[in-house]
Structure 1
Amino acid sequence: MHQQLTQMELQSLRELINAHSLGYQKLQEYANQVTDPQIKQMLQQSAQSAQNTKQKLMSFLQ
């Protein structure tokens, strides 16, 4: 059972979720633009990591 979040904590959590969402989008876009397979893979892995972190953070809102 999650404890009740304060308004400040909730706002911080929303900002973190938005930042990871934006990071995911940017990294995916960069990965789509590069041709070097190693750099593409690195960017895709970083994008997935940002997406995973976003999902973990969103679980605190449930």
Structure 2
Amino acid sequence: MSDLTELELQNLRHLIVGYELTQDKMQDYAQRAQDQQVKQFFQKAAQSSQQTKQQLMRFL
């Protein structure tokens, strides 16, 4: 793996934190949702955010 520049590392960390926050929000929305379809929508969005975050973390 090639070395990351300081700027690339900062950008990567920023993206990871953003996806982590999105995952937390989507999980919270899913827990609060009354409608089952809405709940599933937010659960899938949370899962997608988690997967993307994990993929980005592989670059660290």
SS in 1 for 2:51: helix
- Structure 1 length as normaliser, TM-score? 0.96
Show CA shifts across 1:6-30 (max 9, x none).
0000000000000000000000000
* C-alpha distance in structure 2 between counterparts of 1:4 and 1:19, whole Å: 23
- Which aligned runs of 4 or more in structure 1 are off by greater than 3 angstroms? none
1:22 and 2:7 matched? no
Determine the C-alpha separation between the residues in 2 that align with 1:3 and 1:41: 39
Per-residue deviation, 1:45: 0.2
Q: What count of residue pairs does the alignment treat as equivalent?
A: 60
Q: Percent identity?
A: 50
1:34-53 paired onto structure 2 within 5 Å: 34-53=33-52
> 3-state DSSP class of the match of 2:59?
helix
Which ranges in structure 1 are unaligned for 5 or more consecutive residues? none
Q: CA RMSD in A?
A: 0.3
> Aligned equivalents of 1:45 and 1:30: distance in 2?
11
